[in-house]
């Protein structure tokens, strides 16, 4: 086991939990994608200004996943620019959150175009578009779309989606309901 480096979130430093070293094979390693079983998934990425560095760190550590040809990414305004710069090759850029980007993603969730949302919210800052943020979260709940609002829940979500078997289950479950 190896100790992960300290993370900086919202100006605070904290120690990450102990993580296990992964081989290049296995259920979560880079060699774990089975192209024959993998179905296309679309994930929305959003980060408030105070959390954009955390989002960049998050995607940089998972570029092997986010750059798979069967993984589509959409993002709000500046977040999309940052994650493109971080190395995600294909990003559908939407409006900035305060200018309607959160509402655009909520509409895509309601139309069942998005399979998961990762939204690094800054809970310690006021946001002029708070109603749009609450609406997005409500729409995710109504349409049973996974919503990760912090680094650890996003990590768990992506680790789960790394398995082609889980993606097939998710797609099948959505069509049976």
- Write out pLDDT tens, residues 105-141: 999 999 999 999 999 988 766 556 677 788 999 999 9
- The larger pLDDT score, comparing residue 173 to residue 36, is at 173
> pLDDT grade, residue 66 (50/70/90)?
very high
Does residue 15 form part of some domain? no
The residue segments making up the domain with residue 130 are 42-176
Starting at the earlier edge strand, list the strands of the sheet with 71-75. 92-93, 71-75, 41-47, 116-120, 147-148
**C-alpha dihedral sign at 77, 104, 119, 26:** negative
CATH number at residue 115: 3.40.50.1380
Whose tokens are 């069967």? That residue is 70
- The larger pLDDT score, comparing residue 108 to residue 7, is at 108
pTM of the model: 0.75
DSSP string, 34-46: -TTT---EEEEEE
For β-strands 147-148 and 71-75, DSSP reports them as: unpaired
For β-strands 92-93 and 71-75, DSSP reports them as: parallel
User: Percent of the chain having pLDDT more than 70?
Assistant: 72
Phi/psi at 172 (nearest 5 deg)? -65, -40
**C-alpha dihedral sign at 66, 67, 70, 75:** positive
Token pair recorded at residue 1? 């086991």
Phi/psi at 18 (nearest 5 deg)? -65, 135
Residue spans of alpha helices (H) in 38-176: 52-60, 63-66, 77-86, 101-110, 130-142, 151-161, 164-176
Q: Is residue 85 over pLDDT 80?
A: yes
Per-residue confidence (pLDDT) for residue 38, from 0 to 100: 52
The stretch 18-32 carries a mean pLDDT of 37
- The larger pLDDT score, comparing residue 15 to residue 152, is at 152
Which residue of the set 102, 115, 122, 125 is catalytic? 102
Does residue 21 form part of some domain? no
Per-residue confidence (pLDDT) for residue 124, from 0 to 100: 66
Does residue 143 form part of some domain? yes
The most confident of the ranges 32-41, 118-127, 144-153, 161-170 is 144-153
Query: Is 177 part of the annotated catalytic residue set?
Result: no
Does residue 65 form part of some domain? yes
Q: Is residue 98 over pLDDT 70?
A: yes
Q: What's the domain count of the chain?
A: 1
């Amino acid at each position: 086991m190896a100790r992960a480096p300290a993370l900086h979130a919202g100006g605070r430093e904290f120690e990450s939990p102990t993580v296990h070293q992964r081989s290049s094979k296995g259920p979560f390693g880079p060699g774990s994608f089975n192209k024959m079983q993998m179905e296309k998934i679309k994930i929305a990425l959003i980060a408030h200004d105070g959390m954009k560095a955390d989002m960049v760190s998050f995607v940089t550590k998972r570029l092997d996943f986010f750059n798979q040809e069967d993984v589509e990414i959409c993002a709000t305004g500046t977040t999309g620019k940052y994650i493109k710069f971080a190395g995600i090759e294909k990003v559908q850029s939407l409006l900035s959150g305060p200018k309607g980007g959160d509402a655009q993603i909520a509409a895509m969730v309601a139309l069942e175009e998005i399979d998961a949302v990762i939204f690094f919210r800054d809970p310690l800052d006021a946001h002029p578009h708070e109603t749009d943020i609450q609406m997005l979260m409500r729409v995710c709940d109504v349409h049973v779309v996974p919503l990760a609002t912090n680094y650890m829940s996003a990590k768990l979500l992506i680790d789960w989606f790394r398995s082609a078997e889980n993606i097939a289950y998710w797609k099948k479950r959505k069509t049976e309901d």
